[in-house]
């Protein structure tokens, strides 16, 4: 489990236009230890996300200015790495499918219990942290593979046994990294 999920803390942007629901959600999130910002409109949410860069976004689909789907599209287009979670009263299959296509990792039907919100948010934050780790490991692996493709002659020598030792070492490292990915449940 990631540090963020273990600590139960993350930067959460709540996009909810109904004042009472927003207050209840903010109170729940605060008791979970999250740093919360609230927006009542899509435009306000986009402005907050631009400056604050949340770890997770809880977005109502029905906002007064633009749809929650459009908010998710724009955040994604800006390169946001926030975990998107949809909040809505309409649990129709079409909405669920569209939310997932727009990048949502979960879908919560209102009204919801604190336990449901907490489990969903903890999972989302852990998923986000694991994806960041995976990206970092892939970059390191790519750097290693590039270096392995052309070992420096001075360091390893030009004789056949030096190049063979280098290639075996590279393969052992690659096998270890791939093993970690498989144990962690990541596929290729």
Per-residue pLDDT of the chain (188 residues; tens, 9 = 90+): 334 444 458 999 999 999 999 999 999 999 999 999 999 999 999 999 999 999 999 999 999 999 999 999 999 999 999 999 999 888 788 888 888 888 899 999 999 999 999 999 999 999 888 888 888 888 887 777 776 666 555 555 556 666 677 778 778 887 877 777 777 666 65
Closest CA to 49 of 99, 87, 13: 13
pTM exceeds 0.85, yes or no = no
Query: 183: which DSSP letter?
Result: H
pLDDT at 137: 83
DSSP for 20-77, please give it: HHHHHHHHHHHHTT-EEEEESSHHHHHHHHHHH--SEEEEES--SSS-HHHHHHHHHH
CA dihedral defined by 166, 172, 177, 178, rounded to 10 degrees? 120
pLDDT at 1: 37
CB 121 within 8 A of CB 32: yes
């Amino acid at each position: 489990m990631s540090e963020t999920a273990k600590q139960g803390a993350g930067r959460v942007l709540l996009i909810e236009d109904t004042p009472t629901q927003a207050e209840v959600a903010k109170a729940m999130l605060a008791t979970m230890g999250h740093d919360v910002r609230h927006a009542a409109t899509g435009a306000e949410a986009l402005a907050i996300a631009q400056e604050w860069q949340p770890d997770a976004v809880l977005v109502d689909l029905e906002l007064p200015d633009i749809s929650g789907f459009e908010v998710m599209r724009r955040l994604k287009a800006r390169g946001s790495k926030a975990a998107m979670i949809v909040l809505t009263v309409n649990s129709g299959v079409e909405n669920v499918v569209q939310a997932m296509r727009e990048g949502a990792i979960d879908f919560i039907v209102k009204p919801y219990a604190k336990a449901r919100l907490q489990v969903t948010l903890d999972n989302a934050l852990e998923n986000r942290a694991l994806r960041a780790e995976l990206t970092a490991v892939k970059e390191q692996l790519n750097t290693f593979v590039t270096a392995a493709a052309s070992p420096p002659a001075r360091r390893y020598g030009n004789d056949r046994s030096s190049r063979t030792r280098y290639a075996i070492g590279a393969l052992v490292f690659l096998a270890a990294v791939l093993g970690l990915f498989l144990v962690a449940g990541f596929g290729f």
